[in-house]
Structure 1
Amino acid sequence: MRLFAFGSNGSGQLAIGHQEDVSNPTQCLFTTDPESKDTTQDINEEITTIAAGGNHTLLLTKTGTVYAAGANTDGRCGTSTSPENVFNRVSITTASGTVDTFSRVSATWEGSIFVSSEATDDKVYVLGTNTKGELGVTEPLVSSAVCVPDFPPRGTRVAALASGMAHSVAVLSNGDVWGWGGARKGQLGSENVVRIAGPVRIQVPFFAEEVVCGREFSVVSGRGQFVVLGDPGNRWGVLNVPECFVSGEGGSRGLIGYPYEGIRASWHGIYVHAAGLEGDAEGEVGSLVAWGRNDRGQIPPRTLPTPAVLAVGSEHVVALLKNGEVVACGWGEHGNCGEDLDALRNVADRVNLISLPETLEGKVVRVGAGCATSWMVVE
């Protein structure tokens, strides 16, 4: 596997050897030996998760290895700060030994959450800045990894994990939902609460299986049902569930009546992706139904062919189409949507075709999107 990145890179979060933004896919670097600072462009593992904070990136592989790059002054990357501008393997030191294999990861704006699946239970380790309780502990700064106490509850595992800018939500193996961090906008299902420093149960009216987080909202889903937890003020309309998903229960709940690949979230938008369906002429029900903020082209045009893989970043979308092409749209100021931008630095009402270097042989098998960052996995 090879990983290519483009977009915001002021802290080296693209791991491409420097700290300049780029608008064309550039191959990422990985350390092979932290002592010698040797690097490689190939990774012999399948990347399953790309989690991006404001200025750092976490990669989780199928074997449980995690790599991190970017800002690390508060320890959020779980690695040494040298060598810089490359991906380094995460290894956490605890009182009982070293942990270097994980099952889930997520990233807040300035923090990281790592789930380690051990023989009888899961443990949740956190690192970084924690001003709003987004790491699930009380310390405002966690420069050495700590374990979130008494979580998950005994007999359960972490089945899904997501973070917004300052809140985090976990779905457990028994279908329960727990969250912590900033809560002022209702993103944790509570009203009149500014922050929640440790995990609390979030009540949802179905067996939960997945969760995604926007900047200040959460979408919990399971078995075709979903609920949006967010600000009743509804500035960007994320609570306005499209008519094709209205469940009859009212409020911000929805029911998806066909197989779908998953639900994604930008900072202010929601995207339901069904790779097996083609959209109708009106775009009401089809391969991609999206709603929310669209002042920068964050919602792809209805003419977008069916994506095989859909990735949604803070304010942009990257899609791998079924014909193997990669396209992007939305806010592209940092190069994360390619080079062809309008006067406001957006790709709106259209998409940009993103091409790998002409000299490269390989097939794009996965795409990712973060905070003004974009990613392409090539085999």
Structure 2
Amino acid sequence: MLACGGAHVIALTSGGGKVLTWGRGNSGQLGHGDILDSSLPKPVSFFEGYVVTQASAGWSHSAFVSDSGCLFTCGNGSFGQLGHGDNMSLCSPAKVSYFVGKSIKMVACGMRHSLVLFAGNQVCGFGSGKRGQLGVSSQKTKSVVNLPCVVSGLEDVEVVRIAANGDHSAAISANGQMFSWGRGFCGSPDVQTPQCLPSSLSFREVALGWNHALLLTVDGEVFKLGNTLNKQSEKQQDPSEPLLEKVPGFDGVKVVQIAAGAEHSAAVTESGEVHTWGWGEHGQLGFGNTNDQNNPQLVSQGSIDQRARDTKVYCGSGFTYIVRRIQQLSSS
């Protein structure tokens, strides 16, 4: 898997859970013990002897989950987003002591905050809480929280996935409900604690941008909240009710994966096709230009190797990666 942040990337190998990072390293987010950039993937020596099973990249911080359920963080900690009880930045990964013995399932990094899902289906948040993205009650809200605090309102929810980006946070429950909190979409008020999206649809995945969210249903349909181009929808809406709209262009096509950058979106169909749309100023849509696209457009992947399986797409703030697993041919 990959995890793409503000301007850095984390890669986990499929064989032994090894970690490689590259990109901007000015806050120590690459975990190499320095604050240098790296233009090529470089192994994170700290994790020799560990098997890392999941990772997430924020704007300038990184988080890693080991197969033993431990959480490690590094990078910019000035908003407490590393969870170590201070606002210090770290250029090498360090274990978050709060979660020792708690068996981490998943971590998600936003711009300046982090979310953690751990055993018991509990969710914690730490870092910047200015827009409500930590999910604590308004009476307890602080601009900076440097120790993990339990997200309010999810105690009776079986959470199976979490997501974070910008000042947004979200969770998917086992029965397909989507909960979100933090900065409001399309001018809606900020939400201090998780609110369930009123919908009869059953969701299995959520991807967050800075001004929008993508939702993937169990049937392979894609919906959106907000707008990837940071423009108000032409439809009138009650600012207290987020507007859920079906993404056009996928009629009769099953989508199997979604991803969101700062202001662009991507989706993979069942046949392995990749579609992108939204902000294109940095060429992140993959069409050889810097034009914006209001609706999904097919990305040419050249001559696809017939051995290719399991196409995945990953979005950073202003860049995109497509990863295709190649099935090895038998020597016989």
TM-score class normalised by the smaller sequence: 0.7 to 0.9
- In the alignment, what sits opposite 2:166? 215
Residue among 129, 141, 146 paired with 1:183: 129
Distance 1:288 1:301, change over 3 A: closer
2:40 counterpart of 1:92: no
The match for 2:293 among 308, 329, 347 is 347
Q: Residues 32-91 of structure 1, C-alpha deviation per residue, up to 9 Å, x if partnerless? A: xxxxxxxxxxxxxxxxx3211211101123332222111124332123779942212222
Deviations 1:337-378 (A, max 9, x none): 123668xx3111x33321223486653622211211111112
**One-letter code of the match for 1:165?**
M
Give the direction of change, closer, same or farther, for the CA distance of 1:53–1:324 in structure 2 (3 Å limit).
closer
Q: 1 CA distance for matches of 2:49 and 2:316?
A: 26
State yes or no: 1:293 paired with 2:245. no
Specify the alignment match of 2:55 in structure 1.
105
Q: CA deviation at 1:108?
A: 1.6
Q: Deviations over 1:231-258 (max 9, x none)?
A: 4x65544979xxxxxxxxxx83136655
Q: What do residues 123-156 of structure 1 show as CA deviations (whole Å, max 9, x unaligned)?
A: 222211111111112142212332212314x3x3
What is the match of residue 29 of structure 2? 76
Q: 1:50 to 1:359 in 2, by over 3 A?
A: closer
Query: CA shift at 1:296, angstroms?
Result: 5.6
Q: Distance in 2 between matches of 1:262 and 1:359?
A: 26
Question: In structure 2, what is the Cα distance between the partners aligned to 1:145 and 1:52?
Answer: 17
2:302 corresponds to? 357
Q: Shift in Å at residue 165 of structure 1?
A: 0.4
CA distance in 1, matches of 2:2, 2:70: 20
Unaligned runs of 5+ in 1: 1-48, 241-250, 278-286
Structure 1 residue 144 and structure 2 residue 92: aligned? yes
Q: Give the whole-Å Cα distance in 2 for the aligned partners of 1:334 and 1:181.
A: 28
What is aligned with 1:166?
A: 112
Q: CA 1:296–1:228 in 2, change beyond 3 Å: closer, same or farther?
A: closer
What does 1:35-46 align with in structure 2 at a 5 Å threshold? none
Change in CA separation of 1:238 and 1:87 when aligned onto 2, cut-off 3 Å: farther
Query: Could you tell me the TM-score, scaled by structure 2's length?
Result: 0.79
Q: 3-state SS of the aligned residue for 1:87?
A: strand
Choose between structure 1 and 2 for higher RCO, CA contacts under 8 A separated by at least 6 residues.
Answer: 1
- C-alpha contact (below 8 Å) 2:259/2:266 kept by paired residues: yes
- Structure 2 CA distance, aligned partners of 1:135 and 1:148? 8
State the distance in 1 between where 2:57 and 2:263 align. Answer: 16
Structure-2 separation of matches of 1:230 and 1:175 = 20
Contact 2:209 2:228 in 1 (8 A): no
- Structure 2 residue runs without a partner (length 5+): 234-244, 327-332
Which structure 2 residues correspond to residues 1-379 of structure 1 after superposition, within 5 A? 49-62=1-14, 63-79=16-32, 84-92=38-46, 98-118=48-68, 122-137=69-84, 138-152=86-100, 154=101, 156-190=102-136, 191=138, 192-203=141-152, 204=154, 205-223=156-174, 224-231=176-183, 235-237=186-188, 252-254=195-197, 257=200, 259-274=202-217, 276-277=219-220, 287-295=221-229, 301-304=247-250, 305-339=253-287, 345-348=291-294, 350-358=295-303, 363=308, 365-378=311-324, 379=326
Deviations 1:283-339 (CA, angstroms, capped at 9, x unpaired): xxxx11211134368988422343232222221112222333222101011111123
Give identity over the alignment, percent.
Answer: 22
